[in-house]
Structure formats: C-alpha cells, structure tokens
Amino acid sequence: MLGGAARGWAGWTLGSCAALVALLGVLFAHDTTADSFDHAIDAPIIALFGGHWDLAYRLSTPGTLVPAAVLSGLIVAFCLLTRRLNGAVLAAAAVPAAEGLVEGVLKPLVHRTYLGLPAYPSGHTTAVFAVAATVAVLLAVPPRPERARTVGVLITAIAFLMAGLVALAVIALRWHYFTDTVAGAAVAIGTVCGLALILDVLQLALGLDHAHRTAGACAA
C-alpha cells in the first residue's frame, strides 16, 4: 500500500503523533479549566463566533459519527470501484479505530474535562481528521501523473480545511480546548498511519506467501 519511502514517513508520523498525544495527556490530566495557552487561543475563536452558535454547530457536523461514517462509506465505495481493497479496508477502519482509542482509552485515562464533560482528545476532531488523513494517504500513494497529483492535492486540502473548521467550531461551542483538538488530530493521523503500515505489512506478507507457494508449485 505505501511502498518503501512512504513506510518510513508513515512510521515517523505515527511516532510523532503518539508522543504528542502522550505529552499533552500528561500535561493536562485531570484539568478542569483552560491553561493560559489554551485560553489565549480559545478566547478569540469564541469571540469570533459570538452570536453565531448555529453556524458553529453546523460547522461541527462533519465531526459527528453519522456524517463521518457516510464520508468513510463513500471512500470505501470509491476504493472498491477502483479495485483498491486495502484502501477500502483503511477507509472502513480509520474512524472506528481512532474513535475507539479516544472514547475507550484516552478520555477515561486522561480525564480532562470542560464544563464537567470529558474533553481530551476531541472526538469530533478525531473523526473528521481520520477521514481527511485517509484521503491524504489514498491520494498520495501510489505516485500519480502530474495532473492527477494536482487534483489529489486539491481534494486533500479541502478535506483538511473541513477538518480545521470542525476544530474551530468545537472550540467556539465550548466543547473543547484548543489542545483537545490538536490531540484529536494527532490521534486520527497517527491511527491512519498505523493502519496503513499494518495493511502494508499484511499485503507484503501475503504477497511473499503467494510467491513461495507459486515457486513451490513450479518446482514440483
């Protein structure tokens, strides 16, 4: 799925994201209020959307589970139509795996709260960045002709722009602190890279096994 150079990039990204999530988790464990850094970023965003909560709510919608699942389903369908089975598996697994890590492990473990509700990492941000990261991986690998690569970059940019707007919206709605959204994005991107590496290893192993079977049959 990834190829040699992309494998190294994905592994480095996975390690960096994991380290960032762990560091922020230690720093903000059991916090109930914003620190000075979060407050300095959150306050202008909240003020920007002041009186426009309906807009912020609409912008947050792609980060909810149903829209994220629909977007993932569209990617799965596209991969099946183009016979990229590993891409379909990646698209199907990315959001559930990332959300499972956030809701089942990180939120209970870190237990950072915002107005009494678990906040770290942001589940909305995780879901939408998982979709965006999946799009980025599928459109970046394998290498494509110049025109297709340009279209791929544009689509990827739109996906990450949508993800960024969701992050802004959940801050404006006072559901999450800025660092919650950073951690959510890191969980999502790291999860997608991890899944891509796993699928890559499985594909390589299955390919080698098939080659060995073929060689054995020829020898016989």
- pLDDT, position 150: 87
Mean pLDDT lowest for which of 49-63, 158-172, 192-206? 192-206
Tens-place pLDDT, residues 79-117: 999 999 999 999 999 999 999 999 999 999 999 999 999
Rounded to an integer, what distance in angstroms lies between the CA atom of residue 219 and that of residue 24? 56
Q: For residue 51, what pLDDT is reported?
A: 80
| pLDDT number for residue 203 | 75
In 3-state terms, what secondary structure has residue 113?
A: strand
Helix (H) or strand (E) segment spanning residue 56: helix 53-60
Tell whether the model's pLDDT for residue 213 goes beyond 50. Answer: no
Mean pLDDT over residues 170-196, rounded? 97
What's the chain's average pLDDT?
90
Predicted confidence at residue 145, as pLDDT, reads 72
Give the tens place of pLDDT for each residue, 110-140: 999 999 999 999 999 999 999 999 999 999 8
| C-alpha separations of 153 from 56, 70, 78, 83, 128 in Å | 27, 22, 17, 21, 17
- The more confidently predicted of residues 167 and 203 is 167
- Taking only the tens place, the pLDDT of each residue in 42-51 is 999 999 998 8
Region 6-31: mean pLDDT is 94
Phi-psi category of residue 141: left, alpha or beta, with phi > 0 → left and psi -120 to 50 → alpha: beta
Res 143: pLDDT = 65
pTM of the model: 0.90
